[in-house]
Amino acid sequence: METDDRTVRLTIVGFGHVGGGVAEVVMRKHHAIKERYGLDLRIVGIADIKGVVTNERGLSESEITKFRLGDESVMAEGISTRDMIKELDHELMVEATPTNVIDGEPGLTHIITALESDRHVVTSNKGPLALQYRRLMELAGRRGKMLRFEATVGGAMPLISLIRNNLAGNGIISIKGILNGTCNYILTRMAEENLPYEHVLREAQEIGIAESDPTKDVEGIDTAVKLVILANTVFDMDATYRDVKVRGITDITPDALKLAHDAGYTIKLIGEVDTTGRLEVAPRLVPIRDPLDVSGTLNVATIKTDLAGDITVIGKGAGPIEAASAILSDIIGIYDTGQSQTKHLQ
Amino acid sequence: MSDQFIYPTPNSYLEAEMKISMDIELNDIPGQLVRALKPVSDLGGNILSVLHQRDKKTPSGRVPVQLVFELEEGRLEKLVEKLKSEGMQVVRIGKERMKDSMVVILIGHIVHSDIRDTIDRIDSTGFAEVMGLSLSMPGVDKKSSASLVLSAIGKSELKDALGILESTAREKGIMVISPI
Ligand SMILES: NC(=O)c1ccc[n+]([C@@H]2O[C@H](COP(=O)([O-])OP(=O)(O)OC[C@H]3O[C@@H](n4cnc5c(N)ncnc54)[C@H](OP(=O)(O)O)[C@@H]3O)[C@@H](O)[C@H]2O)c1
């Protein structure tokens, strides 16, 4: 076991909420990570639509702030995002550009380029994994590199690593859960206040819980994309999000929620995948006080296993720092091969 | 705001009638099935389904048949006597048949799309029925919501009944919300 600190040079591609959050937590936890894991994490490059900033010795906080504010003086001239991924020496790329479920771009090209340049990849971007999972995993395997994506499903909720590590040896029979906080917020409010869908959607948009174009969330597409990632990783399915049977929440009425309540249920948008090949997103009746009956923007998943029975995880599904938390744990997981499994940072 | 009322389902009119499933064994000679069914109709019963399993003969060479029918309760004893006198063996009589049930919510133009027809399709299976329906209509042209209870003789039959409900609902543009 090596005791010397190991320098891990990172690049971040896509510097929005999540990318910015990653830079923030890497800076904030730098010392603690070095102490606990012997990892010296350095951000050596950041790329965004605005441009590219690099520093082989590690970007300073002020360089990162200037880049964020669009200060031209720090931008590297004549270097594209792909050039940076290919040519700048580094060990690991964090990919956090917007999710695109039509062709996976630009994330797909970024990930392929990074793996082909022998970088590990940690991503929060769902598109490439929901469309080209097998191809990307095979490429990573051929290159002997890791591709990790805990942040794509359930934000900070440890789902993929929970199944992969802590539930190792269990057969997974099914996973059912609420994987979209926006839909859960809308259904919770409709049920509590007996308000129509349109009203609650507008309210959610005003407080920033729903996007101005809420289609991906309310039509169940986002849930389907996450479900496909679970289907591929946990059930080895090689599915794409087009294989999912999807219904969203736009037709749910307050009356339906009331009738459900009278019968002892509430209505939730549930994604479900199981060993029989079921791959479905639909509003479902959840018994009141079932572990899946969580309210507000919370996410939840119940994993049915053959040895451990049912295990339910509840957590914040979205939010830049939550996603950054999942990304950070993926980064550490790549280098920390078990000796310090039980360590936690302050 | 919205009206709520309860629809009686067709079966609840027929208090005295009960749905019965019966396993009998016939001798493997022609005409036996007709001889088994005739007493049911003679006694005013309504046959819902007949499962004739010629390929699953008993060790003694008899053919098992599963009947599902509606009959006035008081006439059941007479029926059994009659069948026995015809040389048939009554192996099992099931009365408390609808063991499994689930709540289902529907959303859509439920009344326009003839909910009766949907219920009838399930009731006519003989293995499942719609037990209760409450409907809530917010106003003309708006989508209404309903909850109903599906019951069936067993878990797999309940799943089949849900399948029937889902496919009829799909044809009619109605959304079905089922329990996890
Ligand atoms: N936010 C969350 O809570 C959360 C949670 C889990 C997963 N995710 C996923 O994480 C990813 C990032 O989310 P986010 O909330 O950080 O989105 P965001 O704030 O929109 O950030 C995306 C960033 O990528 C940049 N970008 C777009 N195209 C690019 C390209 N071709 N090359 C380089 N950079 C490019 C954007 O630049 P411009 O701003 O200049 O367009 C923006 O800075 C998405 O895939 C999302 O689905 C988000």
Ligand 1 atom having least distance to the Cα of A47: 33
In the structure encoding, which two tokens stand for residue A204, read together? 């959610």
What is residue A242's DSSP assignment?
Answer: G
pLDDT higher than 50, residue B29 = yes
Tokens of B102: 């689930």
Structure tokens at A227: 């479900």
In 3D, which of A218, A222, A266, A268 has the Cα closest to residue A244?
A: A222
Residue A19 CA, closest ligand 1 atom number: 16
User: If phi over 0 gives left and psi between -120 and 50 gives alpha, with beta otherwise, what is residue A194?
Assistant: left
- The CA-atom distances, in angstroms, between A239 and each of A129, A181, A273 are 10, 23, 11
* Beta strands, E only, chain A: 6-13, 39-48, 51-54, 92-95, 120-123, 147-148, 172-178, 245-246, 265-274, 279-287, 298-305, 310-316
Among A31-35, B53-57, B116-120, which range has the highest average pLDDT?
A: A31-35
Long-range contact set of residues A273-277: C-beta below 8 Å, sequence gap at least 24:
A273/A174, A273/A175, A273/A227, A273/A230, A273/A231, A273/A234, A273/A235, A273/A237, A274/A173, A274/A174, A274/A175, A274/A235, A274/A304, A275/A171, A275/A172, A275/A173, A275/A174, A275/A235, A277/A237
Please choose, from the candidates A310, A19, A317, A327, the residue with its C-alpha nearest in 3D space to the C-alpha of residue A153: A317
The Å distance, Cα A107 to ligand 1 centre, comes to 10
pLDDT higher for B92 or A79? Answer: A79
CATH 3.30.360.10 domain residues, chain A: 161-317
Strand segments (E) across chain B = 3-7, 17-26, 46-52, 63-72, 89-94, 100-108, 128-137, 144-152, 175-177
Q: What is the pLDDT of residue B9?
A: 41
Q: pLDDT at position A302, please? A: 96
pLDDT at B10: 41
% pLDDT > 90, chain A: 84
State if residue A51 touches ligand 1 by the CB under 6 angstroms criterion. no
Ranges of CATH 3.40.50.720 domains, chain A: 7-155+321-335
d(CA A312, CA A304): 9
A173 versus B10: the higher-pLDDT residue is A173
Contact B105 A272 (CB under 8 A): no
* A7-25 per-residue burial string, b: 16 or more CB within 10 A, e: under 16: ebbbbbbbbebbbbbbbeb
Take residue A324 and report the two structure tokens written for it.
């950054």
| B128 beta partners | B152
**Predicted pLDDT at A3:** 46
Does residue B130 register a pLDDT over 50?
A: yes
Distance CA A70, CA A75 (A): 8
- pLDDT reported for residue A165: 84
Atom 44 in ligand 1: residue holding the nearest Cα:
A98
Rounded Cα–Cα distance for residues A12 and A43 (Å) = 8
Phi, then psi, of B26 in degrees rounded to 5: -110, 150
Q: What is the pLDDT of residue A119?
A: 97
pLDDT, residue B53, reads 74
Contact A96, A22 (CB under 8 A): yes
Q: Which residue of A has its CA nearest to B136?
A: A255
In this predicted structure, what is the pLDDT of residue A150? 93
- In this structure, the dihedral spanned by the alpha carbons of residues A71, A76, A77 and A78, taken in order and rounded to 10 degrees, is -130
Domains of chain B: 17-96 (3.30.70.260), 98-177 (3.30.70.1130)
Residue A201: predicted pLDDT: 97
Residue A144 gets the label, from left (phi > 0), alpha (psi -120 to 50) or beta, of left
Q: Which of A49, A182, A316 to mutate to test the pocket of ligand 1 (most atoms within 8 A of CB)?
A: A49
Cβ distance A291 to A304 under 8 Å?
Answer: no
What stretches of A158-288 adopt beta strand conformation (E)?
172-178, 245-246, 265-274, 279-287
* Cα–chain center distance at B107: 24
Give the mean pLDDT of B117-128: 84
- Which CATH architecture is the domain A7-155+321-335 placed in? 3-Layer(aba) Sandwich (3.40)
pLDDT tens digits for A300-345? 999 999 998 999 999 987 788 889 999 999 999 999 865 444 444 4
How far is Cα B24 from Cα B46, in angstroms, rounded to an integer?
Answer: 17
Identify the CATH class of A161-317.
alpha beta
Q: Does the interface predicted TM-score (ipTM) exceed 0.85?
A: no
Find, among B68, B29, B63, the residue nearest to B48 by Cα.
B68
Mean pLDDT of chain B: 81
Is the pLDDT at B2 greater than 70? The verdict is no
Contact B145, B115 (CB under 8 A): no
The predicted pLDDT at position A4 comes to 63
Q: How large a percentage of chain B has pLDDT more than 90?
A: 22
Q: Answer whether A300's CB lies under 8 Å from A223's CB.
A: no
Best of A257, A259, A265, A293 to substitute, by most chain B Cβ atoms within 10 angstroms, is A259
User: B129 phi and psi, to 5 degrees?
Assistant: -155, 165
Tell if the pTM clears 0.95, that is, is over it. no
Distance from CA of B135 to the nearest CA of A (A): 9
**How far apart are the C-alpha atoms of A19 and A39, rounded to whole Å?**
20
Beta bridge pairs of residue A206: none
Q: What is the pLDDT of residues B149-172, one digit of tens each?
A: 998 888 888 999 999 999 989 888
Report the C-alpha gap between A254 and A187 in whole angstroms: 9
For ligand 1, atom 37, which residue shows the shortest CA distance? A49
Residues of chain A scoring pLDDT < 70: 1-4, 337-346
Answer whether B177 sits within 8 Å of A284, measured CB to CB: yes
Close Cβ partners of A132 (under 8 Å, ≥ 6 residues apart): A104, A108
The pLDDT score that the predictor gives to residue B126 is 78
- Nearest-CB residue to A256 (from B107, B178, B180): B107
